[in-house]
Structure 1
Amino acid sequence: MKFTGTRAIARLVIALVAMAVAALAVTGCSMIEDASKSDTAKAKVGDCINVIEGSTVDSKTEPVDCANEKAVYQVVSVYDTKTDCKEEQTSYEETLNGGTTAFLCLTPNFKEGACYNESSSTGYKFVDCTAPEASFKVAKRIDGQADEFLCDATTAIGFRVVPEPKTTFCLSSPKS
């Protein structure tokens, strides 16, 4: 016994199953690719990063809320391949089997009143102001302006000016 239109229904079912398999294959591949990335490498523009342990080869980092005083860096751009970051930005590269899986450009996200350690080889790290490795304290943070002359020259020991997003950090001794 034959029913009219069964071939059309069978073709429709086969087409729907094929589309579902194709969609699963595409999302499955990106899920596998993302599974090989650390939480830091999965960060999006605007997310913030804490540096637990700085290293030129294998830093230990974690994403944190940007309001957290340990949110040392903010992600300003994300790439799949190695890219030159702008001046005053720090690069974060994650590799797997010799290939870059994530490349982030980071900008300082210092908190007013907090202290940090600065290393030319490993970047910035949040530290307690009483710690011997404390390099500087953020005496003042000015959002929306990138101008070193906003810092009081009589009390500041230095400054960091970030062009994107425009921010000025006036620095003092960690002991002050």
Structure 2
Amino acid sequence: MSTPPQGQNPYGQQPPGQPGPGQPGPGGYPGGVTMPPPAPTGTSKVKKIFVGIAVVAAIAIGAGMWISGQDDADQAKKGDCVVNKGSNFKPDVEVVDCTSSEAEYKVAEKHDGQGECDRTKFSEYSETKGSDVLFTLCLAPHKP
């Protein structure tokens, strides 16, 4: 038996640019076999949409909380009008426009912490956190 010349394929001719049998081809597989890339799953698109929705929702919730907090009693200042949307035992005091038919009281004084209102002239509303008094409003009846 004769030895084939150096560099030639003993099994026949290979197409130009193709590796011979047993030799790694493109992609590292023997015989020139290449594996296709994995098919896209589409999850990255879904993730991007989900993240986008989550960001928009977070912004909307934050804006809603900020807007709804603008009429809370802690935002009241002297001269503002307020309404109690709760009860005497569980008040829910909110700032309203003084021209509104809802306006029940006008803020005569506002004290940081515990304040003393002249109870012969004013109603008093204090907001607490735990045992600490955050502020006190002295409220005069509002006459539109």
Provide TM-score, normalisation by structure 1: 0.41
Q: Which has the higher strand share?
A: 1
| Larger proportion of helix | 2
Q: Which has the higher contact order (CA 8 A, sep 6+)?
A: 1
TM-score, length basis structure 2? 0.47
